[in-house]
C-alpha cells in the first residue's frame, strides 16, 4: 500500500471497528491512547471529518514513522500507545489503531478522546432576546470565531482583521453576529444560540484556540 492511500484512508468507522472506548483528558495535558491489540506494526488514524480518517503514523518494528512532519510535534507513537500532547479542544475526536492482516487493515477499538471541560470552560449566562458579548481569552489582530455543532465539527462564524470589516463565513451571519476586536456579539440570543464557542488565532498557519466559552440561557 503506498503512502497516499494510507494517509487518505476512508474508514467506515462504526461498522468495521470494535468497541468504543472513551478517554478523557484536560486541556494542556498529554494523554496516552492505548491500542486494544499488540503488533510490531501498529498504524494510528484519526477521524478528521465524518467517517474520513487520516493517518497519523505507524510503529514499524518499534521505530515510529509519522505521516507528516507536523504530526511529530503533536503525537508520539511508541509500542501500542499514541500520546496526544498538550490537548486542545480540537483533539476531541475519534482515533483508531490498525494493523495489516493479509494486506487488509484490521482495526482495534475506536477511542473517543473527550476533553474534560470541568475547569477550563468559561460559562456565560445569556438572557433570551438580549445581545450577548463573548470576549476571547486573548487579543490578537486577527481573531476567528467558531461554534460547536453536535460536538464537532466546529462551524466557523467569521473573523476580524485589525479594524477592517469582519469577514463572516455565511452571508446570513452578518445580521446575527457582530465582531469587533476580540469580541463576538450574538444578537437577540435564542435557545439555539446556546452552546460552546471558541475563538482562535493563527500562529504560523496553525490555529490556536482560546478558552472555550459555554453560553447557556439564563439570567
Ligand X SMILES: *[C@@H]1O[C@H](CO)[C@@H](O)[C@H](O)[C@H]1NC(C)=O
Least Å distance, CB 21 to ligand X, is 7
- Angle at alpha carbon of residue 218, lines to 213 and 219, rounded to 5°: 105
Nearer to ligand X (CB atom), residue 11 or residue 186 = 186
Sequence-distant (6+) residues with CB within 8 A of 143 are 136, 159, 160, 179, 181, 182, 199, 200, 201
Our CB check for ligand X shows the closer of 130 and 170 to be 130
- Spatial CB neighbours of 206, under 8 Å, sequence gap ≥ 6: none
Q: Which residues bind to ligand X, rule: CB under 6 A?
A: 22, 28, 86, 88, 112, 114, 129, 188, 190, 208
- On whether the CB atoms of residues 188 and 208 are closer than 8 A, the answer is no
Q: Taking the CB of residue 199, how many other CB atoms lie within 10 A of it?
A: 27
Distance CA 180, CA 159 (A): 9
Q: Which three cell numbers stand for residue 217?
A: 440561557
Min dist. Cβ of residue 2 to ligand X (A): 33
Nearest approach in angstroms of CB 131 to ligand X is 10
Residue closer to ligand X by CB (options 18, 86) is: 86
Task: Give whichever of 112 and 183 is closer to ligand X, judged by the CB atom.
Answer: 112
Burial code (b: 16+ CB inside 10 Å, e: under 16) for 12-28 equals: ebeeebeeeeeeebebe
Nearer to ligand X, 30 or 79 (CB): 30
For residue 173, give the H/E element and its range: helix 173-176
Q: In 3D, which of 129, 132, 165, 169 has the Cα closest to residue 149?
A: 169
In the bound state with ligand X, the residue whose beta carbon lies nearer, of 26 and 79, is 26
Closest approach, Cβ 73 to ligand X, in A, equals 8
- For residue 217, the minimal CB distance to ligand X (Å) is 11
The CB-of-65 to ligand X minimum distance in angstroms stands at 22
Amino acid at each position: 500500500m503506498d503512502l497516499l492511500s494510507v494517509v487518505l484512508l476512508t474508514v467506515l468507522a462504526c461498522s468495521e471497528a470494535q468497541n468504543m472506548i472513551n478517554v478523557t483528558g484536560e486541556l494542556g495535558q498529554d494523554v496516552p491512547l492505548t491500542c486494544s491489540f499488540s503488533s510490531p506494526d501498529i498504524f494510528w488514524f484519526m477521524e478528521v471529518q465524518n467517517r474520513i480518517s487520516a493517518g497519523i503514523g505507524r510503529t514499524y518494528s518499534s521505530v515510529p514513522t509519522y505521516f507528516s512532519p507536523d504530526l511529530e510535534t503533536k503525537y508520539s507513537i511508541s509500542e501500542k500507545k499514541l500520546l496526544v500532547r498538550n490537548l486542545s479542544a480540537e483533539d476531541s475526536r475519534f482515533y483508531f489503531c490498525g494493523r495489516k492482516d493479509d494486506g487488509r487493515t484490521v482495526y482495534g477499538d475506536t477511542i473517543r478522546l473527550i476533553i474534560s471541560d470541568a475547569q477550563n470552560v468559561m460559562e456565560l449566562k445569556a438572557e433570551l432576546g438580549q445581545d450577548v458579548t463573548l470576549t476571547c481569552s486573548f487579543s490578537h489582530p486577527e481573531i476567528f470565531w467558531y461554534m460547536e455543532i453536535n460536538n464537532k465539527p466546529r462551524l466557523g462564524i467569521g473573523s476580524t482583521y485589525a479594524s477592517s470589516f469582519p469577514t463572516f463565513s455565511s452571508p446570513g451571519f452578518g445580521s446575527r453576529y457582530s465582531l469587533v476586536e476580540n469580541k463576538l456579539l450574538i444578537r437577540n440570543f435564542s435557545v439555539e444560540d446556546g452552546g460552546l464557542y471558541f475563538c482562535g488565532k493563527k500562529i504560523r498557519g496553525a490555529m490556536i484556540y482560546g478558552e472555550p466559552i459555554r453560553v447557556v440561557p439564563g439570567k
